[in-house]
A and B are shown apart, each in its own frame.
Chain A
Amino acid sequence: MTVAENNVAAAVEAAGPVVPAASRGERFTGYDVEAFEVPGGREENWRFTPLKRLRGLHNGTAVADGTVTVDVDAASDVKVDVVGRTDDRLGVAGAPSDRVAAQAYSSFTEATIVTVPSETKPDKATLVRVTGPGEGKTAYGHLQLRVEAFSNASIVLDHVGSGTYADNVEFVVGEGAKLTVVSVQDWADDAVHVSEQHLSLGKDATLKHTVVTLGGDLVRVSPTARFAEAGGDVEMLGLYFADAGQHQEHRLFVDHAVPHCRSNVMYKGALQGDKAHSVWIGDVLIRAAAEATETYELNRNLVLTEGARADSVPNLEIETGEIEGAGHASATGRFDDEQLFYLQSRGIAEDQARRLVVRGFFHEILMKIDVPEVRERLEAAIEAELEAVESTVNTPETVTA
């Protein structure tokens, strides 16, 4: 296994003569699609994404000719509003940071707002199911999940169906509130989904944000976490399993701009089959004002077969020395032959041994998903993926940046 571990600091690169290293914090954001240039594929933000497969989401040619269906199975106390573009609650968690997100923001016609009122603790998880517009159709959407002050709630956001879809999802967690949310991308094989997820934490708020990507032709999820005030705690977890031909991209940005906040990122992915491609970008910025920040991010990829490729780029920028701790780790490895040999030497057949190792790889993350319905479903989904694991594994191409 290639392991690149850095236990801190030196990620603020000096400006080189050719490409000045701009801070991640300086990236342009805005609500209007026309304010963004059409990406050409060389931009840092787009260099891993196969633009041709975006079906025009990035260049204005993807005209909305369908709609997504949003079904909410709400716990008691939880309110659901369908609102127009002018509702002044919309957009508070953050502005789009790329052209597709801005296109979605400029294009949606109605938004769904799910609100957990202050000082409530719903008795069960709220399920929000987004069903795609259908094969050959395109839709834009907007969703906001609000957990008001001192509440404690779990929400499952489930994406299923077919079509092309771009959206912004806002997670607004109020003062002292706690939200556990799982966003599952379980699309049909044809689906293209580009989603910017804006995580906004109030004073002393706690957010556990889990992204699970299994299905779809191309899925690109960009979660950005921001702390409005001190004391926030965000845990960002991810689990993905890319099969032949699938492109799964997760671009994270944690913006520490206020003191005494914590962030912990852990994404794990497995890849199998020809041209299975995963991309993980983990940008963490600790601004000068963000004293006593504590942050750690980790990405692990397990490449199961030849022809699959995992890109992993952690990036830590630190503008103050007054922090509790900061670190990152990234590793992409092929299947460990020693583990396989050990299990087989105890009589366990090769295919079963492989499954044990992959299950073990994801175990750490699955144990952190504390919404029981989701965990069981994910365990079953991983089993289903493993059914397809080819029994012969040759040397795959692995890339760790």
Chain B
Amino acid sequence: MSTLEIKDLRATVATDEGAKEILKGVNLTVKSGEMHAIMGPNGSGKSTLSYAIAGHPKYEVTGGEVLLDGENVLEMSVDERARAGVFLAMQYPVEVPGVSMSNFLRTAATAVRGDAPKLRHWVKEVKDEMAKLEISGEFADRSVNEGFSGGEKKRHEILQLALLKPKFAVLDETDSGLDVDALRVVSQAVNEVTQSTDMGVMLITHYTRILKHIQPDVVHVFAGGKIVESGGKELADELEENGYVKYIGKPEPARI
């Protein structure tokens, strides 16, 4: 059993007008096996939260802690965080020309697991996970994310999740850019890997549509740089019905 504790997390981003505070004291505790949906309107700071946890250089953490079983991950380098068991499925995965997906996946798995996976088992493992996500085999030879459609990129983020099996995963708008079939396939893969590994998940989303496929244990509303309300599944139903008007003072639907 592991615990990820976010305590009074504050972060700024550099702008032309100086540092701007985006995260204004985020508090959240996620335990192994828990699925937390974090729902919020555009510009509320959801993505900043995910980047701050992963250690993106663009964001400066100005206060608070993120503790993984008591260890402050904010004091770790980006790769150390990943090796400690924190994974971020990005909203906009980055293209890395000239580096094949298969080379990348194996290098990452070697880094996270501490040993190079045995080649024969590895090939089968990758193939099986790709099949579950309905990713064609040719992608293994293509450069990382280069020329992939939005949906293809998202499938590959979840492929990495399934292969790296972190203790905690932040899924940043994994549903955006996925059509109805792709959303079902990707959601199934997320359910399978989270249930088989007892992973704790922060599922960041603007819309309720992914919650038809992935059942959250807790739903949080994120607005103005912090969590403003938490509840059960019924909170998502309420958002589906009324949108974010109550939190931001103007109508913004949570349903497509």
Contact = CB atoms under 8 A, between A and B. Distances in A.
Interface of A: 337-339, 341-350, 352-353, 356-357, 359-364
A346 B104 contact: yes
B107 A356 contact: yes
| 7 interchain residue pairs of minimum CB distance | A360-B98, A363-B98, A347-B82, A347-B111, A346-B108, A342-B94, A344-B78
Given A342-B90, A345-B78, A347-B83, A360 B108 contact: no
Contacts, number: 83
Given A347-B79, A360-B99, 17 more contacts: A339-B95, A339-B96, A341-B78, A343-B104, A345-B54, A345-B55, A346-B164, A347-B164, A348-B111, A349-B79, A349-B111, A350-B77, A350-B79, A356-B99, A356-B103, A357-B96, A360-B96
A5 to B, nearest CB: 16
B59 to A, nearest CB: 11
A360 B164 contact: no
B112 interface: yes
B160 interface: yes
Most A Cβ at <10 Å: residue of B111, B160, B164? B111
9 contacts: A337-B57, A341-B57, A342-B96, A343-B108, A344-B82, A346-B104, A346-B112, A348-B79, A360-B96
Interface string B167-183: 00000000000000000
Contacts of B77: 344, 350
Q: Which of B81, B107, B143 is the most central at the interface, judged by chain A CB atoms within 10 Å of its CB?
A: B107
B107 A348 contact: yes
B106 to A, nearest CB: 11
A359 B104 CA distance: 12
Given A337-B57, A352-B107, A345 B98 contact: no
A379 to B, nearest CB: 13
Contacts of B99: 356-357, 359-360, 363
B54 to A, nearest CB: 5
A364 B98 CA distance: 7
Contacts of A338: 94
A331 B56 CA distance: 25
